[in-house]
């Protein structure tokens, strides 16, 4: 059941992405030939106006066919309603609308989560004790609740940080609650070699708490932007090999979503938000074959005040699409290999 939910969730995000392109194309007066939920031959279809709406058997997303948008597509070059013959700002809007739909989806789901479960807020409950730290040396444990530091009561992580950084390395009294019983420890903060700041070496946990309605609105808008920055930084760190790891394909994403679904509705919605933003970020990358690559060419053409030779642009996008397909094959193979070896122990 969790795998089915994950596949449907991922497919829905892709369909919403394509729906963004579809709605923008229709609003801009472009001819849309087909809107498909799923891939393959149509199981059910009907035609309204110039557009065929269909449901196909492979539930891994969908596609929208805007006349003149795809490489090597045959169309009437004199038709004013095909993609290449519409104004550049309309083409730009259609291209941006897909990723924008992903961002809007993340905002809406985020808003629902914030209203239902509340916003994350820092607690003074110890979530992790850093190996070799001052906190570990005096026996601070995960699950301990810090109630006071340096003779001052604390209610949030920032209160602890302020006292620790102001200690200048002197021992401070830390009052904690452990299994309901009060415990007092003496901890001597240590200077971090990288930042030069005094630390005791703990990471505090987080909890959700409901806040004002307007705060939920603000957080729902800001959250996808913050996640985008984090994802772009991770991509750059992977490229520059500052962190170890690799890309994950649809199979790996579905596996992660299935794992989140097993943990409950909240975890599943959180990963839906993350993946929705990731789809938006990925598609905005200025790579041939992606929305971002097409946006790049629209921008260049706007600066030059004339369109690039369509044949040349088509070849560039075709090369990009081939590279992306090969990359998809590689990451999918790695996902399958990882799952196989995990099953084999």
Catalytic residue positions, numbered? 18
* SS3 (DSSP) at 142: coil
- β-pair partners for 34: 52, 65
3 state DSSP class of 319: helix
Closest among 23, 326, 140, 234 to 334, alpha carbons compared:
326
Instruction: Please count the CA atoms within 13 angstroms of the CA of 94 that sit on its side-chain side.
Output: 26
Q: Under DSSP, is residue 37 helix (H, G, I), strand (E, B) or coil? A: strand
Which residues are CB-contacts of 161 (< 8 A; sequence separation ≥ 6)? none
Q: What b-and-e string marks burial along 191-228, b requiring 16 or more CB atoms within 10 Å of the CB?
A: eeeeeeebbbbbebeeeeeeeeeeebeebbeebbeebb
User: Using CA atoms, how far apart are residues 262 and 1, in angstroms rounded to an integer?
Assistant: 9
Residue whose C-alpha is closest to residue 207's, from 113, 117, 115 = 117
Query: What burial class does residue 36 get, using C-beta atoms within 10 Å of its C-beta: 0-12 exposed, 13-18 middle, 19+ buried?
Result: buried
CA–CA separation, 204 vs 82, rounded Å? 56
Entry field: residues in the chain: 345
Report the distance separating Cα 293 and Cα 314, nearest Å.
Answer: 11
Question: How crowded is residue 55: how many other Cβ atoms within 10 Å of its Cβ?
Answer: 14
Question: What sign does the CA torsion over 289, 293, 295, 299 have?
Answer: negative
């Amino acid at each position: 059941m969790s795998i089915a939910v994950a596949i449907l969730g991922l497919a829905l995000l892709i369909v919403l992405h394509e729906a963004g392109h579809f709605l923008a194309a229709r609003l801009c007066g472009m001819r849309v030939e087909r809107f498909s939920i799923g891939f393959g031959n149509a199981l059910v279809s009907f035609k309204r106006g110039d557009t065929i709406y269909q449901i196909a058997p492979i539930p891994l997303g969908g596609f929208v066919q805007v006349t003149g948008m795809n490489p090597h597509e045959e169309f009437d070059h004199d038709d004013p309603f095909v993609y290449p013959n519409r104004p550049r700002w309309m083409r730009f809007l259609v291209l941006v609308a897909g990723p924008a739909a992903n961002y809007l989806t993340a905002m809406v789901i985020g808003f629902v989560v914030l209203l239902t479960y509340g916003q994350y807020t820092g607690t003074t409950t110890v979530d992790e004790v850093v190996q070799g730290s001052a906190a570990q040396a005096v026996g601070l444990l995960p699950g301990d609740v810090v109630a006071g530091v340096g003779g001052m009561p604390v209610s949030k992580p920032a209160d602890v940080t302020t006292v620790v950084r102001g200690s200048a390395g002197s021992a401070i009294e830390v009052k904690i609650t452990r299994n309901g019983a009060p415990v007092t420890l003496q901890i001597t903060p240590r200077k971090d070699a990288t930042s030069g700041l005094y630390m005791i070496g703990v990471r505090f946990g987080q909890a959700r708490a409901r806040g004002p309605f307007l705060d939920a609105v603000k957080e729902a808008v800001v959250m996808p932007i913050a996640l985008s920055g984090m994802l772009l930084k991770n991509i750059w760190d992977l490229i520059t090999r500052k962190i170890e790891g690799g890309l994950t394909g649809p199979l790996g994403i579905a596996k992660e979503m299935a794992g989140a679904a097993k943990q409950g509705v909240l975890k599943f919605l959180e990963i839906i938000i993350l993946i929705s933003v990731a789809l938006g970020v990925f598609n905005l990358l200025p790579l041939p074959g992606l929305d971002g690559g097409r946006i790049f060419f629209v921008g260049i053409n706007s600066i030059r005040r004339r369109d690039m030779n369509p044949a040349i642009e088509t070849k560039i996008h075709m090369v990009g699409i081939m590279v992306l397909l090969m990359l998809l094959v590689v990451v999918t193979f790695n996902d399958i290999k990882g799952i196989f070896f995990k099953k084999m122990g």
